[in-house]
Amino acid sequence: MRARATGLVLFLVGFVASSSALSAVGWRVERKIDSMTDKELKSAYVENEDGHSLKVWQKEDGEVWATFRLADRSGDVFGDTLPLMRIDKNEPDDLESLVRLERLLAELHQPSEPRVVREPKWLHFLLAASDVSPTTPTTNLFQWMHGQRMVVRYYLFTGGFKETTFTLAGAKAAIEAACSLRPPTTDDTAEARAERALLEEAKHCAGLTGAVFDECLEKLRIAGLSASLKARYWCNTHVGALEAIACHTAVRQCEAKVGDQDPALAECFASEWKKQSEISGN
């Protein structure tokens, strides 16, 4: 917990700014020097016409975080509900799901460190864990790097909400320059695989709300990891970006054919994926 908190504080206090470089259309790379350690801290940054800003930066442990800050000249402050962020025509990313994930992991006796840190005018949130590949198209990080436009709906302390828009032009180049993105090195022990698979299942549940979330949590408590989530996790970690969509399609086809129980789903998925691999020549 102390390491994560230290990484966040470095972006809040003790900076001596130096010149910015590697400007991209819309996005640019900011370089700052920590006055306590003399370390260079880099971030990808964009500010929109409303004066609101987005920043992407990386901690020493490899985690990629983002900051959404309201303009100083704006009288707006955040309410209790976290923002929604939508890139192009993708499904909106509900930052509340990060809080639900923390709660869910605690319920499963897998406590985690905070994934959101908030103040009245800004919030930091985890964009990608250190073991997430930037080439996986189902991840938020991939969408930030390859999208065109982001709409943010933020909820106000006084009630209601407002929306603001950011360009993602140049985000990929700026994020790659500010962060050391590389394919993750994965602990492949059985225990580590089980822990990662549990996290994937928990993330699925965290994306739900209300009674459906409670049902998902109860299923996770009683039945453990579902067969389909094991297959989806395999798709996210064993194939490249171009093959991932076809891999997830194979999982859905098998769910429709045989349901979500092993060994039937595992056998169906192995057969479907083999067929698709032969067709594509892999």
Q: Which CATH number characterizes residue 31's domain? A: 2.60.40.1880
Using one digit for the tens of pLDDT, what is the confidence trace for 130-143?
767 777 776 789 99
Q: Is residue 80 part of a domain?
A: yes
Q: Tell me the pTM.
A: 0.62
Using one digit for the tens of pLDDT, what is the confidence trace for 55-103?
999 998 888 999 999 999 999 999 999 999 999 999 899 998 888 887 7
CA distance 13 to 205: 36
Last residue of a domain, one of 178, 208, 236: 178
113 in the same domain as 167: yes
| pLDDT for residue 81 | 94
210 in the same domain as 145: no
Q: Is residue 160 part of a domain?
A: yes
259 in the same domain as 138: no
Residue with the larger pLDDT of the pair 103 and 13: 103
132 in the same domain as 11: yes
At 277, the pLDDT band (50, 70, 90 cuts) reads: confident
Phi and psi for 137 in degrees, rounded to 5? Answer: -70, -15
Domain ranges, residue 9: 2-178
Last residue of a domain, one of 156, 178, 200: 178
Residue with the larger pLDDT of the pair 129 and 160: 160
Lowest mean pLDDT among 32-46, 72-86, 202-216: 202-216
| pLDDT for residue 282 | 52
Residue 191 has pLDDT above 70, yes or no: no
Mean pLDDT score of the chain, rounded to an integer? 79
Q: Is residue 96 part of a domain?
A: yes
138 in the same domain as 17: yes
Lookup result for tokens 């549990």: 198
Residue with the larger pLDDT of the pair 167 and 39: 167
Q: Nearest CA to 182 among 94, 62, 53?
A: 62
172 in the same domain as 41: yes
Contact 253, 273 (CB under 8 A): no
All residues at 6 or more sequence positions from 130 whose CB lies less than 8 Å from its CB, including other chains: 61, 62, 63, 184
Average confidence (pLDDT) over 233-246: 69
Last residue of a domain, one of 152, 178, 204: 178
The side-by-side arrangement of strands in the sheet containing 149-155 is 93-94, 84-87, 149-155, 161-167
Q: How many domains does the chain have?
A: 2
